Amino acid sequence: MPADLRPTSTPDAPPSRVIVFDTTLRDGEQSPGSTMTGPEKLQVARALDQLGVDVIEAGFPVSSPHELESVQEVARVVESATVAALARALPADVERAAEALADARRPRIHTFLATSDLHLERKLGIDRDQALHRIAQSVEAARRHVDDVEFSAEDATRTDPSFLVQAVRTAVEAGATTINLPDTVGYAHPHDVARMFDAVRDGVPDVDRVVLSFHGHDDLGLATANSLAALEHGARQVECTLNGIGERAGNAALEEVVMALRVLPRFRERFVTHVRTERLCPASQLLARITGVRPQPNKAIVGANAFAHEAGIHQHGMLADRRTYEIMTPAAVGARDTTLVLGKHSGRHALVRRYEELGFTLTPEETNRAYELFVMLADRKKVIHDEDLLAIYYGGTMERVPRTFRLEHLDVRCGRSPSWARVRVARGDDETAEAEGTGDGPIDATFAALAELAPWEVRLDDFAIRAAGGGSDAVGEAHLQLRIEGRPFTGRSASTDIVDAAARAYLHALDKASHADRLEARAFERLQLWGV
């Protein structure tokens, strides 16, 4: 192990408690597309509190009257966590932060000033002595309001180490209780972070009186690694955001740091957090729903593919023993169960297992025949759905599904709750039916009306709509999964009208169910299954 990253505590010592400081509502909310309204911030704040983070940074009150109000509201509803408010090292900022936190059960004022020469000279136009003066003044002012004061030396990783030590000393002497050393522009390597913490711990006499903290940005994809290096070198607080949202490339992702501490033997014995990890995915999904920004599918821990396996060798291993390809269980982070995605890389084992889950036990000959057809289909389609397996079983495919249901008319009324929809659908050539439905929004109402017309029992399992291209006239692509008489069928459609796209996707799934019924009937008529 490189000398720089040697652990600072002995392996036998009791685990150290790591304070998880969440800044989703402040640094995260600053990122493009992640802006939240006051009520949305409250929803996220409640979820963070239930997740078990120690500190929730609620915002930057001086930035606007609306922000002040929203921090005040968060301060009122959060029950367990400390609520922090950000303030530049300026008297007016500190006053405003104190005002915002007046009703918090556990308030913290977080004041910051840049310490790198680049920021001091070019951004603030002040010298080092003036900076030290402002640090002392703002920390003392904050301490007059609250006992819990954090000072951040913005751009710490690009600060001359001897001046950083001076700045930290000044903040500690002025009464700061937490000292945060940010990698503001995501420019540090874990070795640099380790050296920075070592230098501060060696150079500041009363450093044990304060909690050291790290705040990493992900411009080079090193934010999580840097946070872990900081912990190994004396930090006991990490600052992070859900899904890693934040300025530019984002902040260290809370779920990554917490799970690295939980999963890796190197950290497991030495550090604990109070995060209820099984709430990680639900919290991530709540944030994604509110902001409309979904984490990329391959995002660690919370991405849609974080527990999906397609390669045949991996699927075989997973079926034999999940530990072969999973280092944590989906349940540990509140994710949906592992999915073995069936596609052209999948093998026989996964295919047989999926048929079993669908209620079909295949004989060896049936397996051979099904696998042959499966491979042919997988060459043409990215993902093989359960409905495809059903069709294969009955000797057909779900490609070129005949149209059974046609949308003739759709009328919706929304804007007032509940929304209302009327649909007219033609079935085959000579049957037309009409139905009405109400629901939470126009799509929900349309689905309720369509469910009335469906000749089967239908449940909506999954629904997503995505704009293809920018602009308000973008095409909306609707994807959904229906459970029709207990069997899953997907549907998709696209239209510039998203309600229309959703309705057509619904009918597409009904068409597939109708096709499956016909295939099944034909198979029974022939009284032969599986190439007999």
Name the site residues for ligand KIV (rule: CB under 6 A).
Answer: 27, 112, 152, 154, 180, 182, 184, 215, 217
Question: Within 10 Å of residue 253's Cβ, how many Cβ atoms?
Answer: 28
Token readout for 488 is 């899953």
Name, in order, each residue with C-beta under 8 angstroms of 49's C-beta and a sequence gap of 6 or more. 56, 77, 78, 79, 80, 81
| Nearest C-alpha neighbor of 335 from the set 394, 295, 386 | 295
Nearer to ligand KIV by C-beta: 246 or 330?
Answer: 246
- Nearest distance in Å: CB 503, Zn ion: 44
**For residues 11-40, which are near Zn ion according to CB under 5 A?**
27
Give the H/E segment covering residue 340: strand 339-340
Least Å distance, CB 4 to ligand KIV, is 23
C-alpha dihedral over 333, 336, 338, 341, to 10 degrees? -140
Residue number with CB closer to ligand KIV (152 or 177)? 152
* Tokens, residue 17: 């408690």
Q: Identify which of 196, 203, 202 has the alpha carbon closest to the alpha carbon of residue 155.
A: 196
In whole angstroms, the minimum distance from the beta carbon of 199 to ligand KIV comes to: 18
Q: Is 148 a binder of Zn ion (CB under 5 A)?
A: no
3-class secondary structure, 232 = helix
Partner whose footprint covers residue 446, from ligand KIV, Zn ion, none (CB < 5 to 8 Å by kind): none
Using the minimum distance from each CB to Zn ion, give the nearer residue, 256 or 511.
256
For residues 11 and 232, the answer to whether their CB atoms sit within 8 Å is no
- Binding mask 303-342 toward Zn ion (x if CB under 5 A, else -) reads ----------------------------------------
| H/E element, 66 | helix 65-77
User: Shortest approach of ligand KIV to residue 155 CB, angstroms?
Assistant: 7
Q: How far is the CB of 156 from ligand KIV (least distance, A)?
A: 8
Alpha helices in 114-233 (DSSP H): 117-118, 128-145, 161-174, 190-203, 223-232
154 binds, among ligand KIV, Zn ion, none (CB under 5 to 8 A by kind): ligand KIV
Q: Minimum distance from CB of 251 to Zn ion (Å)?
A: 6
Closest contact distance (angstroms) between CB of 98 and ligand KIV is 18
Q: Between residues 184 and 226, which has the closer beta carbon with respect to ligand KIV?
A: 184
| Sequence-ordered alpha helix ranges (H) in 379-497 | 386-393, 442-453
Six token digits for residue 30: 């600053």
The nearer residue to ligand KIV, 186 or 476, going by C-beta atoms, is 186
- The residue at minimum Cβ distance from Zn ion is 27
Binding at 442: pick from Zn ion, ligand KIV, none (beta carbon under 5-8 Å per type): none
CA dist 464 and 477 (Å) reads 8
How many residues bind Zn ion (CB under 5 A)? The answer is 1
Residues that bind Zn ion (CB under 5 A): 27
